[in-house]
Amino acid sequence: MCGIAGILYGDRSTSVDQELLARMTNVLGHRGPDSGGFHRGPGLGLGHRRLAIIDPAAGQQPMADPDSQNVIVYNGEVYNYVELRAELESLGYRFVTDSDTEVILKAYDRWGQDCLGRFNGMWAFALWDARRQHLFLARDRLGIKPLHYFTDGSRFLFGSELKSLFAAGLPREPDPELLDVYLALGYIPAPHSFFRGMAKLKPGHFIVTDGARTAVTRYWDLPREDEAAMRTDREQVHAEFAYLLDDAVRISMRSDVPFGAFLSGGLDSASIVTLMAGQTPLPVQTFTIGFDEAGYDERVLARLVSAQVGTTHHEQVVEPGDLQGTLDQVCRHYDEPFGDSSAVPTGHVARLAAGHVKMVLTGDGGDEVLSGYPGYQAEKIAGAYAKVPGLARRALQSTLAGAAALARGRLRYGLNRYERLLRTATQPFAERLLGKAAWLDRAGRAAVLAGIRVTPVDEVITDLMKDCPWTDPFYRLMYFNFKVSLPDQMLTKVDRMTMAFSLEARVPFLDHRLVELMARVHKDVKLPGLTRKSVLRETVGRRLPPPLLRASKRGFVVPLRAWFRAGDFTAPLIGATSAGGGGTLSDWGISPVAVRDIVNRHRGGEQDYGNLLWMLLVLQRTLQN
């Protein structure tokens, strides 16, 4: 895994400043501590920081192809490089390294832009096409690896992270219009970024630019299977899924350095570890993060998996005192506001693993591939609930709301959740989607952002969903998860926190063959009744410890509800919104009264605003930088 950066001027007589290129590249040193390099040509500069995983001795970058004179800087891994190399050798190509980087160069020489369809893996790369005198930049199908860029018609700059663009001297000018998007979702979805003029390349897209003219093209999408033709052959789906997941794990384990796996108490990571153990005679090294709060701790379940398959297991406990340091780390590595508090345990487990290995496999992507989030159950419930007479619906919702008002603590939070589920069940899908995703409802966001002109998050989501081919809410939710929340929340979280500790993370569930298979499967096969992840349970799940199969879904979350009520973490937030000055929230027009009300309602146990308070702390720190 690596960091890439570069610049291309439309006027080739403009020389790329070596110091500027070095700044853009070296600021990514955490992504590639093993080595670095530069390539400069007329109007062109490419920089690379390397984390050596495949062919550590010979895979240095930038890498040039002596035949075509093409040059590449590349972040990622093409797992099927062994098979592609053999195919290219049969076509007459000769190789001087054992790296997947050289395979990309030769594949582009042979197949041009169509080479992307032959790769299985994760990547973000920039390839200088010497004959055509343009840059070809691409991002993998699902958005596992990031790519940011800026263009003004005379130059094109890019980097693995926004900090490369900042290092080039581009201004850090926040765009307050996106604050409604951030407070609703907790992240800024591609192609947007929180800073004016800077963009993210969307997953499954590539760029061709000569520095002056830039074109963005989509090369991959989810299969557009007709809803009526979704697969219902359950046994055959199970067989294909089991084979492909096992093969995805097999090729994801290709490495020339020590590797291991993240292991929680969930089905997804446990399945990956179990399959890994079947692929190697050596014990798999596994890494788990726990909490002293029992409701959030999954160490017991992780230990069951470790004991059953014989891993070498490592654990660490995250405590409230770790929160401040993690806040600093999150703001440093995400560059723009990123409010998913599960970045906290992700950073801790990455640091733990990095002390032992250079690469890990994770269970990320399982919920997307298997339609395993509770939201899919909610969509099924919504379909049934819509058929209940209106009078009965209103009576049930009123009863739940009244009970929630009398309850306290965990019971109150649970009743509020169920009342919200039923209240939104008869709304249009777009409203339900936003209701599921939003950390703060429309009225709450309006109060917090009363002094700011914003782009409503509804408009952004409508634009992101405009190409969705399905009308059934279940499949529309699947589209949103794959196209928006997976790359911009889940995968962004994992990339930044693992790269912060120079650790490569691979995600076998997001093998595009698995994604394409399961996107064609009927919802009643993926979710028979309300049984989550049935396909996984009926295949690899049969080999997992029974207590793990019976456990309820928890997610990789932090006990912020308790931490923010017991500790003094929110004091700086209230003080900053009250006092003003120095780039605080109130200086940007955010209402200090509304923020104080959120803090007080959380402390009083009226509402669980733990993650929202984390989001506000992250936003405050980002605006102060």
What is the rounded CA–CA span in Å between residue 505 and residue 383?
38
Under a CB-based contact definition with an 8 Å cutoff, are residues 416 and 404 in contact? yes
Residue 552 Cα to chain centre, angstroms: 23
Structure tokens at 565: 């009520």
Number of C-beta neighbours around residue 35 at 10 A: 15
Beta strands per DSSP E along 99-212: 121-129, 134-139, 148-151, 155-159, 198-200, 205-209
Sign of CA dihedral 176, 182, 187, 191: negative
What burial letters (b/e) apply to 312-325, b meaning 16+ CB within 10 Å? ebbbbebebebbee
DSSP string, 224-268: ---GGG-B--HHHHHHHHHHHHHHHHHHHT--SS-EEEE--SSHH
Residue among 464, 488, 487, 494 nearest 476 (CA): 464
Is 2 one of the annotated active-site residues of the chain?
yes
What is the rounded CA–CA span in Å between residue 551 and residue 127?
47
Query: In Å, how far are 377, 400, 413, 532 from 420, measured between CA atoms?
Result: 14, 9, 11, 21
What is the rounded CA–CA span in Å between residue 569 and residue 321?
10
Q: Is 342 helix (H, G, I), strand (E, B) or coil?
A: coil
Query: In Å, how far are 2, 121, 157, 468, 547 from 308, measured between CA atoms?
Result: 34, 29, 50, 42, 12
Number of C-beta neighbours around residue 59 at 10 A: 21
> H helices of 143-178, where?
162-167
Q: What are phi and psi of 174, to 5 degrees?
A: -60, 155
What is the rounded CA–CA span in Å between residue 605 and residue 602?
5
Under a CB-based contact definition with an 8 Å cutoff, are residues 304 and 274 in contact? no
The residue assigned the tokens 């390294």 is 97
Catalytic, out of 2, 115, 331, 468? 2
Helix (H) or strand (E) holding 68: none
Q: Is 589 left (phi over 0), alpha (psi -120 to 50) or beta?
A: left
Residue among 299, 339, 369, 300 nearest 488 (CA): 339
Structure tokens at 296: 């959030």
Q: Hey, which residues are catalytic here? A: 2
